[in-house]
Chains A and B, each alone.
Chain A
């Protein structure tokens, strides 16, 4: 995945100088870089830009901005910065900060233990048994911390999100402050006074490592556990054809929720097929074709807006009144198409079944055939492919899927099915129903660049009624979030002996 970070052109609404007309619509791009461990500092850069902006567009004199720049200049500078520097800068800065922080965290306890030996070895009390026991404890705790940090933070990043991951920044700041305060205490109380109680120093180092492990626990809870409990039900609708799915998400920020939804999209939604939408577009064009509006009142009548409005109203009214038989056409066309698809499908199934009967797996005990007869899966696929090629191609054309499958991919799939002893029906399954986007070749993943359009800030949490849009090149996904209601459950006890039954009859007796 590659990236382009795009900041919204209009300014943020937290600056009250903005007039109410310019809606602060934040438009940012989500991308997927290979590795992005800890931080994203785009908001830091953004802050600077915003401050300049703000200083420029209010009438109050702040005294902080000395140059006068117009808004266009700011936007241009931002774009230039990001085009030239791009996300590589962001990624490298993130990595650097992560590495520095990691080194700080791991080397600090070791430094605490080693420095007294270097600086005042004569005065130092020798390390007794308890103290040496603490050495082992420090070593293992550091090892555990190392493994835990590797497990939690050094995973390949799934995506590049537009804003920083708030919790990660919080944790990094917490760790930094924590380590700095420990160093402060150490340097003042121990280095300056050259404390000779070595066991106390070792215990101090152990307490540091313990506290770091607890901070790691906090990291696990904040980053991983908090969003596991489902809290919101989101409804995702594709704008091009209305495919809808519902997912349960926990308490996430809008950008992380968007990321989760995109990952679900690739697995669940059938592939976007633009060829299927052309029919409705041509119908829509036909509705208003043949209607022309003439203005008989002459020019200089109303304002241009008023004329346009009355024009469109006239067209709508005329279209409604016209006796439209397009619904008839639609019905018969769809019935005819359905029939044609079924016929082609029947021919295809028969052709494939027949083709599969020509191939048999060679048993080991069979007398060895001539080398020319024995084939590997690829050759076997190529041998039986021509007999079904025509039927398959016609079917794909009828269902408008022919651009999704190349001949090479079909032969590969056929070889795969033959190798794994699949039946003809299993082979056909991927052609009869459109599958999820991930199933098709990489060139069909049109939307690796996604844009998140949201009215609220994307680091805000999801709320009941949040709406945001994930825009791709051809279509967009409209997402609505609803809170899962609070469930009040009560219990009712049933005594097992209370299950009793009676016979209810209606007899008829003749007298």
Chain B
């Protein structure tokens, strides 16, 4: 899944819709992300290609909305609600996932088994 600069990235993706769950003051999705263009891709524990700076799902909270929606550890998130996630910093990714006015997030994820 590594990209060649200048060429379009092609991948087989799956659409996963997650309903955010309200926990006190926050809307949570129930998973953790890792990766980003400002991070060290070699230390990413779940990625297949250790030079890939994309956003990956590193942990799923058991019983949370993500698990219900069949998101798995190791999935690479390509788009969130239309916003690209392949070339973003870690903080930008976090912001796009935790927008307070969105109740539903539509993820395009890719994984090896697809």
Residue numbers in A under 8 Å from B98 (CB-CB): 511
Of the candidates B44, B45, B94, which one forms a contact with A509 in the assembled complex, judged by CB atoms under 8 Å apart?
Answer: B94
Residue numbers in A under 8 Å from B97 (CB-CB): 511
Q: How far is the CA of A509 from the CA of B26 in the complex (A)?
A: 15
Q: How far is the CA of A506 from the CA of B35 in the complex (A)?
A: 6
Most buried by B among A509, A510, A511: A511
Q: How far is the CA of A76 from the CA of B105 in the complex (A)?
A: 113
Q: B59, A508: Cβ atoms under 8 Å?
A: yes
Q: B39, A509: Cβ atoms under 8 Å?
A: no
Residue numbers in A under 8 Å from B90 (CB-CB): 507, 509
Number of A interface residues at 8 Å Cβ cutoff, please give it.
Answer: 8
Residue numbers in A under 8 Å from B108 (CB-CB): none
- Which size class do B's interface residues fall under? 20 to 34
Q: A508, B58: Cβ atoms under 8 Å?
A: yes
Q: How far is the CA of A509 from the CA of B31 in the complex (A)?
A: 9
Q: How far is the CB of A504 from chain B (nearest CB, A)?
A: 4
Report the tally of A-B residue pairs with Cβ distances under 8 A.
43
Residue numbers in A under 8 Å from B39 (CB-CB): 504-507
Q: How far is the CA of A506 from the CA of B89 in the complex (A)?
A: 11
Of the candidates B28, B29, B43, B94, which one forms a contact with A506 in the assembled complex, judged by CB atoms under 8 Å apart?
Answer: B43
Is the C-beta of B33 less than 8 angstroms from some C-beta in chain A?
yes
Q: B40, A506: Cβ atoms under 8 Å?
A: yes
Interface string of A248-280 (1 = CB under 8 A from B): 000000000000000000000000000000000
Q: A511, B44: Cβ atoms under 8 Å?
A: no
Taking A506-B44, A511-B94 as known contacts, 18 extra A-B pairs with beta carbons closer than 8 A to each other, sorted by chain A number, are A504-B42, A504-B43, A505-B38, A505-B40, A505-B43, A506-B34, A506-B40, A507-B34, A507-B39, A507-B90, A508-B33, A508-B34, A509-B34, A509-B90, A509-B94, A510-B32, A510-B33, A511-B28
Can you sample 29 A-B contacts with CB below 8 Å? A504-B40, A504-B42, A504-B43, A505-B38, A505-B39, A505-B40, A505-B43, A506-B34, A506-B35, A506-B39, A506-B44, A506-B45, A507-B34, A507-B39, A508-B34, A508-B58, A509-B32, A509-B94, A510-B28, A510-B31, A510-B32, A510-B33, A510-B61, A511-B28, A511-B29, A511-B31, A511-B33, A511-B94, A511-B97
